[in-house]
Structure 1
Amino acid sequence: MGRVRVTKHEQLRGGGQGTVWRATRLDTNETVVIKYPLDSLDMSEGSADRRRFVREVRYQSSLRHAGIMPIVGMNLKASKPFFFMPLASHSLEDLLKSGPLPEEVTLSIVAEILAALEYSHDQGVLHRDLKPANLLYLQDRWVISDFGLCRQIDSNSTTITHVGTVVGSLAYMAPEQWDNAHAVEETADIYSVGQIIYHCLVGEEPWPRARIGKLEEKYRYFISRCVAEEPVERFQSVSEMRRELELLTAPQVELASPTTRANELKTEALAGRKEAVSRLLHLIVDSSDDEVFFKEFVPSLPLEILHYMHEKDPVAFEGIVRTFDEYSEGGHPFDYTDEIADFFLRVIRVAKYSRPIRRRSLRRIMIVGTYHNRFHVGEVFAQAVLLRKKDPEDVKYIASLLADDPHAARFMGPYLKQYSLPREILKEL
C-alpha cells in the first residue's frame, strides 16, 4: 500500500491503543477512519510502543477475510505512524447499550465473528482483546477490528508482553492473561467470545464473572465450557466451539424433541412401565449423533434404568456407554466432570458380566479425575476399584492403567490407599 493523503474531521471515541478520527480520503473522496498511536506512547524509532503499533497494522492488513476489518492505507514511516480503514456504522458495544439482543441476532453476529476468528487462528494470529467495542458493523457484515494486542502463535518474541504484564479488557479477558499474556493459546480468544455471547444474551457485562444461572438453560453448559477458568476445560479450537453451537441451536424440532421425549420415557420407566425402557433405549441409540442431547441426558440415567437397559439389550447398552465415553474426551467444567464419573460408576455396578464396558468405565473415571484434579472423582475411582477388587482380570487391568499413567497413579494414590486392595494395585501407587 502506498501513501495516501487524507483530510481529518472530528475525533471519534474508542480506538484501543490509539486515537481515531473520521477523515476523507482525497484520491477517492471516501469517508474513512484514521488511527494514530496515543500521544502518551513512545513512537521513537525502535521503541516497544512503535513496534506494537506497526505490528497491529501489519497483522491486520495481512489477514484477508470478509470478517476482518480491512486496512486501506498506511504510513508507518512517519514520525507519528498511522493507518486508515473504512468507516463502520456502529459497534456491538453500541447495540448492547439498549440491553440484551434477540437470540437470532446474537447467533447471526456470533456466526460471522467465529468464521473470521477461525480464519485468524488458522493463519497463526491470536487477537487477545476481543470485546464488543472491537466488533464493528461494516456495510452488511460484522468484522473484527483492533489487533493491537494480537500475537503470532509461533512467535518467540517477548518484547511486547512479559510475565506479569496484563493485556486485554478485564470483563472479556481470559484469566491466564493475568499471569503470562504471551503464553496464552487459542482458548483465550474462545473465553472472550463466550463472555461476549453471555453479554448479548443476558444484557449485562460479565464482570467480575458470567453468572451462568441467568442464561437460558440450553446455553448454560456451552457458555460454562467457553469461560471455564482453566484453558484445558474450554473448547480447544474455534471449529470445535462452532460445531457445538450449531448442535445447540439446531431447529427446535431436532433438538428439544429427543430431550422432551427422553425425559417423558424416563419418568414412565421409573414408574415401572418396562415397555418405556425399550423405547427409551431405542431413542438414545437413534440420537447418538446428537452430542448435546447425549451430554445433557445420558448422565441423568439412574441405576435402575441402566440395569433395565443392560438386561434388555446388552449390545445397544454397550453402544450408548461407548458413545458417551467418546463425548467425555477433553476438558469439562468441574461439576460436569463429577457427573461423568458418577455415571460410569453406575455403569460398573450394572455391567457385572461385561468386561469391555467395565474397563472403559474405569479408564474414563481415572482420566477425568486426574486431569481435572477432582477429589470427588478420586473417591469415585476408589469405589469403582473396590467393586472389582475380587476379579483377577479387572485387578490386572486396573494395575496396568496405573502403571501406564504415573501421573494418574500419583493422583489416585491417596484415595486408593484408604482401602485394603490387592497387592498388584498398591505396588503401582
Structure 2
Amino acid sequence: MAGVKLFKIRKLGAGGQGEVWLAREGQTQEIVVLKHPLDTLDVSEGSADRARFEREVRIQSTLRHDGIMPILRIYKSPTGPLFTMPYAEMSLEQKLANGPLTETESVDIILTIADAVGFAHSEGVLHRDLKPANILFLNGRWVVSDFGLCRDVNSDSVTITQSKTVVGSVAYMAPEQYDDAHEVTESADILSIGRIFYHCLTGKVPFPYFRRELVPARFRYLITRSVADEPSDRYQTVSEFRQELELLVTGVPDLTPPMERARALNAESLEGDSEATLSLARLLVEKADDEVFYKDFVPALSVETLSEIQKCAPQEFRQVVSAFDQFSEGSHPFSYTDAIAKFFRNVAFVAPDDDYTIRRLVLRRILIVGASHNRFFIGEMFASIVSKMKEAEDILLVASLLREHQDEARFMSFYLRQHSLPTAIMAALPSE
C-alpha cells in the first residue's frame, strides 16, 4: 500500500462502512486487522462517507474500556483514512456456529457486552449495530467492535446519519431503526443485546422468528422485555438490564411454590400494589410452560387483576393470554370448559379496543371451546359478546372467524340468531 507500511494478507470481511483485512505491519511485522472504507464509498475530502468513517475512527479510538476493541494506529492514505486493531481469535458469530452456549457462558458474555455498551452510552455513544459478528474474543475476553454505524447523541448533525435511513443488521436490529435511525435511544442497543442473549442460549438466530419457549424459563421475562417491539416496553437503560440479569443469576432462589407466590401477589395487587401486579405478571410469564400451575391459577384471575396486569404490563398480559390459550386446546370437563370461557370473556372486557390480535384469539377460543363441548352457556356468552360489537373492524373479525370455523359456527348459529346482528355476521353463518 503506497505511503503506508502495511501489507494485506487476506480479506476477513466487510460491514458497516468498511472492509476488514488481516495485515502485517511493515516495521514491526506485527499481525493486525486493517480496516478501510469500502471501495464503493466516496472518501473525498468533505464527503459524507469520509466523515462517517472518520467518526468511527474518532469514537472507537477515544472509548477507552476493557470491553471495547482498541485502535492501534490511524493512517492517512491517498484512498482515504484507515486504521488497525489487534487481531482477535474469533467472533461470537463463529463460536455460535457450533450451537448454543451454556447458561453460565452466555450470561458472562452478555454481562461483558452490557458493561461495554453501558460505558459507551455514558459517553454519549449508541452503537446501533450490535450483533455476534461484532463481538470479538481478544486476549481472553470478549470486546465490542465496529462502531461504523454508531451515533454520537451529543451531536446535532443529521448529515452523517440521515433521518429515515435504516442502519443495523436485521436479525438484531430494533424495528424503530427502520423509521428513523437518527432518533433511536439506548433501548435500541438493549434490544440487540437481548437478541444476542437469545442466540447464545438457544443457538438460533432471532430471525425471522423469535421463539420465547426455547429460552430457559428464568431468563424468559428478561429477554422478552428486552426485545419488545415498542421501545417504551423495553428496559430503558443498560444498567437496569444488567442489574436484573445479575439478580437472576446471583440472587437467592425463591423456594416458595409458584401457586403460593401467585396467590400472595394477586392479593397484594388487588389492594392496589402496582409492584405486586408487575411481579405477578413476570411470574406468569416465567411459568408459562407450567401447565398444571396455569390451568389451576389463571382461570381464577379476576377482571380487576387482569385489568391491572394489562395496564402495568401490557406485553406480559398478551403473553399470559396466549399461553393459556394453548393450554385450552382439547377436551375438558364441562365445569372447566365454562371456566375457560369465563376467563377469555374477562380478557375481552379488559383488552384494549385496538388490540385485534387478542380480540381474535379470545373470540376464536370461546367459539371453539363452546362448540366442541356443546355448551349452551358458552353459546349464549359468545352471542352476547358479539352482539355488543359495533365497530366495523370487530364485525369483520367475527364474520371472518365464522367463515373459517363453519362447524363451530353451525353450533353458534342458534345463539347468534337470537340477536339483531349486522348483515356481514349473519351472512357468514351456515345456512339452516
TM-score normalized by the length of structure 2: 0.63
Going from structure 1 to structure 2, the CA distance change for 1:305 and 1:131 (only over 3 Å counts) comes to closer
Partner of 1:243: 243
- Does structure 1 residue 335 correspond to structure 2 residue 318? yes
Partner of 1:296: 282
What amino acid maps onto 2:255 in structure 1?
Answer: S
Alpha-carbon separation, structure 1, partners of 2:102 and 2:175: 28
Going from structure 1 to structure 2, the CA distance change for 1:77 and 1:159 (only over 3 Å counts) comes to farther
Runs of 4+ in 1 over 3 A off after TM superposition: 26-29, 76-79, 288-306, 328-334, 336-339, 372-377
Residue 209 of structure 1, CA deviation: 3.5
What amino acid maps onto 1:136 in structure 2?
Answer: L
1:278-297 Cα offsets, whole Å, 9 max, x none, are: xx999xxxxx9999965534
Partner of 2:333: none
Partner of 2:29: 29
Partner of 2:104: 104
1:264-285 Cα offsets, whole Å, 9 max, x none, are: x479x9xxxxxxx8xx999xxx
- Does structure 1 residue 66 correspond to structure 2 residue 52? no
Partner of 2:167: 167
Going from structure 1 to structure 2, the CA distance change for 1:374 and 1:76 (only over 3 Å counts) comes to farther
Residue 244 of structure 1, CA deviation: 1.3
Residue 211 of structure 1, CA deviation: 1.4
Going from structure 1 to structure 2, the CA distance change for 1:303 and 1:173 (only over 3 Å counts) comes to closer
Going from structure 1 to structure 2, the CA distance change for 1:335 and 1:11 (only over 3 Å counts) comes to same
Going from structure 1 to structure 2, the CA distance change for 1:85 and 1:298 (only over 3 Å counts) comes to closer
Unaligned stretches of 5+ in structure 2? 269-273, 286-293, 323-349, 359-390, 392-432
What amino acid maps onto 1:159 in structure 2?
Answer: T
Alpha-carbon separation, structure 1, partners of 2:229 and 2:206: 14
Partner of 1:316: none
Superposition pairs for residues 210-289 of structure 1, below 5 Å?
A: 210-250=210-250, 254-258=252-256, 261-263=257-259, 265=260
Partner of 2:420: none
Partner of 1:143: 143
Whether contact under 8 Å (1:232, 1:331) holds in the other structure is no
Alpha-carbon separation, structure 1, partners of 2:244 and 2:250: 10
Residue 213 of structure 1, CA deviation: 1.9
- Does structure 1 residue 207 correspond to structure 2 residue 238? no
Whether contact under 8 Å (1:228, 1:333) holds in the other structure is no
Partner of 1:402: none
Partner of 1:177: 177
| Deviates most, 12-21 or 93-102 | 12-21
Structure 1 vs Structure 2 CA RMSD: 4.0
1:323-365 Cα offsets, whole Å, 9 max, x none, are: xx99x968854526989xxxxxxxxxxxxxxxxxxxxxxxxxx
Query: Identity across aligned pairs (percent)?
Result: 46
SS of alignment partner, residue 207 of structure 1 = coil
Going from structure 1 to structure 2, the CA distance change for 1:212 and 1:302 (only over 3 Å counts) comes to closer
Superposition pairs for residues 64-143 of structure 1, below 5 Å?
A: 64-76=64-76, 78-143=78-143
Whether contact under 8 Å (2:281, 2:316) holds in the other structure is no
Going from structure 1 to structure 2, the CA distance change for 1:56 and 1:215 (only over 3 Å counts) comes to same
Alpha-carbon separation, structure 1, partners of 2:138 and 2:40: 29
SS of alignment partner, residue 110 of structure 2 = helix
Unaligned stretches of 5+ in structure 1? 270-276, 283-287, 307-320, 340-367, 378-413, 415-429
Whether contact under 8 Å (1:234, 1:331) holds in the other structure is no
1:223-263 Cα offsets, whole Å, 9 max, x none, are: 11011010000000000101111122236xx22523xx343
1:300-336 Cα offsets, whole Å, 9 max, x none, are: 8789899xxxxxxxxxxxxxx9xxx99x968854526
1:9-65 Cα offsets, whole Å, 9 max, x none, are: 222234442111212224443221011111111111111111111111001111000
Going from structure 1 to structure 2, the CA distance change for 1:81 and 1:94 (only over 3 Å counts) comes to same
SS of alignment partner, residue 128 of structure 1 = coil
Whether contact under 8 Å (1:369, 1:375) holds in the other structure is no
1:67-86 Cα offsets, whole Å, 9 max, x none, are: 00000101246432100000
Residue 188 of structure 1, CA deviation: 0.4
